[in-house]
């Protein structure tokens, strides 16, 4: 569990929202790279079977 209780409620909430936003953007970028590499062979395999 991540402890943020030392901070004010507003800052805690902003940190939480910021953490979720950063995770989302990192995941979007990371999975985007994965998609670029893995999607063409997967689509080709789907269409050819």
Partner 1 sequence: MELFGIALTMIILFVSFGFMVGVLFGFFGMGGSFLVTPALLVMGYPARVAVGSGMAFVFGTAVIATLKHHDLGQVDYKLGGLMIVGTTVGIEVGRIGVFYLEDLGLAGGVIGVTYVLLLGSIGVFVTRNALKNDGSDDGGGGHHDAADGEIDPDAIPDIAKKIQSYRVPPMMTIAGGIQVSLWMVLGVAFATGLLSGFLGVGGGFIRMPAMFYLIGVPVPVAVGTDLFEIVFSGGIGSFLYGMEGGVDLSIVAPLLAGSALGARIGSAATSIVNEDDIKIYFGLMLLGGSIAVAFQQAGDYFAVELLNTVGFALILLSAFMVGGAVIYSTIATMRANERSTAPAAD
The residue ranges that bind partner 1 (CB under 8 A) are 1-2, 9-10, 12-14, 16-17, 19-21, 23-25, 27-28, 30-32, 34-35, 43, 46-47, 49
In whole angstroms, the minimum distance from the beta carbon of 37 to partner 1 comes to 13
C-alpha R_g of the chain: 19
In whole angstroms, the minimum distance from the beta carbon of 17 to partner 1 comes to 5
In whole angstroms, the minimum distance from the beta carbon of 44 to partner 1 comes to 10
Q: Tell me which long-range contacts 15-23 makes (C-beta under 8 A, separation of at least 24).
A: none
Residues contacting residue 4 through CB under 8 Å, at least 6 positions apart: 12, 15, 16
């Amino acid at each position: 569990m991540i402890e943020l209780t030392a901070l004010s409620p507003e800052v805690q909430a902003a940190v939480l929202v910021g953490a979720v936003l950063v995770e989302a953007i990192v995941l979007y970028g990371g999975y985007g790279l994965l998609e670029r590499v893995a999607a063409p062979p997967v689509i080709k395999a789907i269409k050819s079977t």
